[in-house]
Amino acid sequence: MTLCYQMDDKFEMIRMAVREFAESEIKPVAGELEEKEEFSVSLTQQMGDIGLFGMTVPETYGGQGLDYISYIIAVEEVARIDGSQAATLAAGNSLGISPIDAFGSEAQKRKYLPDLCRGRTLMGFGLTEPNAGSDAGATNTTATRDGDSWIINGRKTLTTNANTPMTKGSIVQAVTGTKPNGKAEYTCLIVENGTPGFTLNTLKRKLMWRGSNTAELFLNKCRVPDDAVLGNPGDGFKQMLATLDGGRLSIGAMGLGCAQGAYEAALRYSKERVQFGKPISKQQAVSFKLADMALKIELARNLLYKACWLAENKRPYGKESAMAKLYCSEIAREVADEAVQVHGGYGLFKDYDVERFYRDQRLLQIGEGTSEVLRIVISRAIGC
Amino acid sequence: MKIIVTVKQVPDTNEVKIDPKTGTLIREGVPGIINPEDKNALETALRIKKDKDDVTVTVLSMGPPQAEIALREALAMGADKAILLSDRAFAGSDTLATSYMLSRAIKKIKKYDLIICGRQAIDGDTAQVGPQLAEGLNLPQATCVEEIAIRGDVVTVKSRFDNIMRTIEMKMPALITVSNRANRPRFKTMNGVLRAFRDKEVLTWTKDDLELNPMRIGINGSPTWVRKTFVPSHSRAGLMIEKKPTESAADILDFILEKAFLRL
């Protein structure tokens, strides 16, 4: 039994490779894309070119063949620069690619994964509905069998990546019947954009991640073939829970990266800004804030990487993944908030990145399990 | 076609501070990176590899064991093989000893068509190793190359000499040094990093692996001695011009022409 805090050189090289890319390609355009509420196809393709999609997918399907920790480090490094691109990446990998890789048929993998992994297409994951958010059991969307095909009716909302020019389609969770115990039976189906009866609307005027795409999905007598079913009919709920366990790690990575980016900006600024005759970093009121930020980031990183290690080693990680997502997203709020405070009045302007970090962090306590839902998950896991 | 690219691991000078007392670099805790123009050299080789069939790219470095990570990075960018010359006996080598040892390693590699070096390293800034290596191997050479084309066994390059460009044709085997104007080095891909660690290896050669004259390696083989390093003081006062913008512009132009920074 060993306890080792030394990371392999491979992980450090992954980190430096993504950092180099994010600093040189994303950083110069992040603010403008965000302000214009513009999803960038070219930037997404560039992320695909360096292999940021399909990181854990086997190379035989066009994936990168890497491990979960490498993927989490990559999301963290992109989020350190820009929440919007990190959102495209995290949702693309954890919600679009991962369910097909984990549950898809051989034919589905061959059909979708190569282009998804090259960053040439994207896939959404339609789960949330106007009246089914934290209560995923309240799903109203239905799919009924009709001969060799399924007919889907319903509406999904707040789906990342669902309506970009490069989106291939969305995985949609629908009620397909009732189980013997009276509970609803769920099935996930892949619905391609352009299918008759399937329309999309991009949701604008977001507080954060404005350079990423969020859409609502309308399914009106939308007919898909039988082989659009992901895995087996009736597996939808299990698939959704497994997808969210993994997805939470990537949201945790977004929180960690956001906190890291905000902290670095605050530290840099505090060394430049002189008040009362010395840099504010030399004044305890500010230096203690920075010390607390560094402490929280250190704790968050340790917890997140441990959860990844559990996932990678096929051990139960539901509790730790919930803890990591909860903690990383909450310290992202605290650190971004204090980073603005360190910047004083300037931190309120778009000229400084902390203004964006401050807004971007706010989704993280809501998406893929609100902080409250995560506390339910953790409290159940510890036997309450 | 076989290409050898020489790389040097250097401290990231963006992160380096200078000890004001000794005048030397504080290297502790400073990350080592591939010398930037060596990345241009590698990119040149990788583009040739992309355009032509059957090209292998070998990266060669000399340095302490930690320099392995720089070679690993070169493998992640797409190099096929990597060799590190590392031995305590090599410590303290100047450019002459370094180029001698590199030349002996290349003799051992035997088969090669083109050697590509970065123009100069950001830590020493000598730009000597490339040319010395060509002399040591008795090869034709071109320095500060910005463009390269290969036809048969002839390599044609555009080489910069101040503000003059020369087109040079050389029969291979040959050596070129490339500058940062040659290209923009690629980003490492995720799968490239994986393969650099999983599928490729870095060979280490010590003094016992090479046929070396002991008087030409390490401190013994290094006639260059650094007598003193110091930080020059930048105490020259700037020239202040406080006139209307158009008059200021005219004054600035006069100043530039007078100092011959620019010719009309």
SS (HEC) of B99-114: HHHHHHHHHHHCCCCE
3-state secondary structure of A244: helix
Hey, are the CB atoms on A9 and B193 less than 8 Å from each other?
no
Q: Which residue has the higher pLDDT, B48 or B27?
A: B48
- Report the relative pairing of strands B174-178 and B141-151 from DSSP bridges: parallel
3-state secondary structure of B45: helix
The verdict on whether A372 is a catalytic residue reads no
Give the pLDDT score at B140: 97
Residue of B nearest to A58 (CA): B191
CATH number of A243-381: 1.20.140.10
Q: Is the peptide bond before B173 cis (omega within 30 degrees of 0)?
A: yes
pLDDT digits (tens, 9 = 90+) for B78-124: 999 999 999 999 998 999 999 999 999 999 999 999 999 999 998 88
Kindly indicate the confidence band of residue B141, based on its pLDDT and cuts at 50, 70 and 90: very high
DSSP-derived letter for residue A173 is E
Give the pLDDT score at A21: 98
**Out of A21, A65, A74, whose CB is closest to B194?**
A65
Provide the shortest C-alpha distance from residue A349 to chain B (in Å). Answer: 28
Q: Which residues of B18-56 are buried (b: 16+ CB within 10 A; e: fewer)?
A: eeeeeeeeeeeebebbbbbbbbbbbbbbbbbbeeeeebe
Give the span between the Cα atoms of A271 and B73, in whole angstroms: 33
Give the pLDDT score at B208: 96
Q: Where are the domains of chain A?
A: 9-122, 124-237, 243-381
Give the pLDDT score at A55: 96
Domain formed by A124-237, architecture: Beta Barrel (2.40)
- Report the relative pairing of strands B174-178 and B114-118 from DSSP bridges: parallel
Average pLDDT value over all residues in chain B = 92
Tracing tokens 């800034």 back to the chain, one arrives at: B125
Close Cβ partners of A6 (under 8 Å, ≥ 6 residues apart): none
What are the chain A neighbours of B197 within 8 Å (beta carbons)? 8-10, 13
Show the domain range for B52. Answer: 2-216
On whether residue B236 sits in a domain, the answer given is no
Kindly indicate the confidence band of residue B28, based on its pLDDT and cuts at 50, 70 and 90: confident
Please answer whether residues A188 and A229 qualify as being in contact, where contact means their C-beta atoms are separated by less than 8 angstroms: yes
- A20 at interface of B, judged by CB pairs closer than 8 A: yes
CA A347 to chain CA centroid, nearest Å: 26
Close Cβ partners of A322 (under 8 Å, ≥ 6 residues apart): A248, A369, A374, A377, A378, A381
Angle formed at CA A240 by CA A175 and CA A97, multiple of 5 degrees: 115
| Whether pLDDT at B263 is above 70 | no
3-state secondary structure of B24: coil
Q: What does each of the 384 residues of chain A score in pLDDT, given as a tens digit?
A: 678 888 899 999 999 999 999 999 999 999 999 999 999 999 999 999 999 999 999 999 999 999 999 999 999 999 999 999 999 999 999 999 999 999 999 999 999 999 999 999 999 999 999 999 888 888 999 999 999 999 999 999 999 999 999 999 999 999 999 999 888 999 999 999 999 999 999 999 999 999 999 999 999 999 999 999 999 999 999 999 889 888 899 999 999 999 999 999 999 999 999 999 999 999 999 999 999 999 999 999 999 999 999 999 999 999 999 999 999 999 999 999 999 999 999 999 999 999 999 999 999 999 989 999 999 999 999 999
On whether residue B170 sits in a domain, the answer given is yes
**Out of B187, B194, B196, whose CB is closest to A50?**
B187
Provide the shortest C-alpha distance from residue A100 to chain B (in Å). Answer: 20
On whether residue B251 sits in a domain, the answer given is no
What are the chain A neighbours of B188 within 8 Å (beta carbons)? 13, 17, 20, 50
Q: What is the pTM of this model?
A: 0.92
pLDDT digits (tens, 9 = 90+) for A3-35: 888 889 999 999 999 999 999 999 999 999 999
The residue-averaged pLDDT of B138-156 equals 96
> Could you tell me the CATH number of the domain that includes residue B38?
3.40.50.620
DSSP-derived letter for residue B216 is G
Residue of B nearest to A50 (CA): B189
Note the residue count of chain A.
384
**Out of A8, A20, A64, whose CB is closest to B191?**
A64
Helix (H) or strand (E) holding A340: helix A318-343
Q: Is the dihedral of CA B93, B98, B101, B105 positive or negative?
A: positive
> Phi and psi dihedrals of B44, rounded to 5?
-55, -45
On whether residue B107 sits in a domain, the answer given is yes
Number of separate domains in chain B: 1
Give the pLDDT score at A80: 98
Kindly indicate the confidence band of residue B142, based on its pLDDT and cuts at 50, 70 and 90: very high
Residue of A nearest to B76 (CA): A13
Neighbours of A247 (CB within 10 A): 24
Give the pLDDT score at B228: 80
Fold of A9-122: Butyryl-Coa Dehydrogenase, subunit A; domain 1 (1.10.540)
Hey, are the CB atoms on B194 and A52 less than 8 Å from each other?
no
Considering only CA atoms, which of B47, B40, B74 is closest in space to residue B58? B74
What are the chain A neighbours of B69 within 8 Å (beta carbons)? 9, 13
On whether residue B212 sits in a domain, the answer given is yes
Kindly indicate the confidence band of residue B259, based on its pLDDT and cuts at 50, 70 and 90: confident
Hey, are the CB atoms on B191 and A17 less than 8 Å from each other?
no
The ipTM, to two decimals, is: 0.93
Please answer whether residues A260 and A297 qualify as being in contact, where contact means their C-beta atoms are separated by less than 8 angstroms: yes
Close Cβ partners of B66 (under 8 Å, ≥ 6 residues apart): B9, B32
**Out of A17, A59, A65, whose CB is closest to B188?**
A17
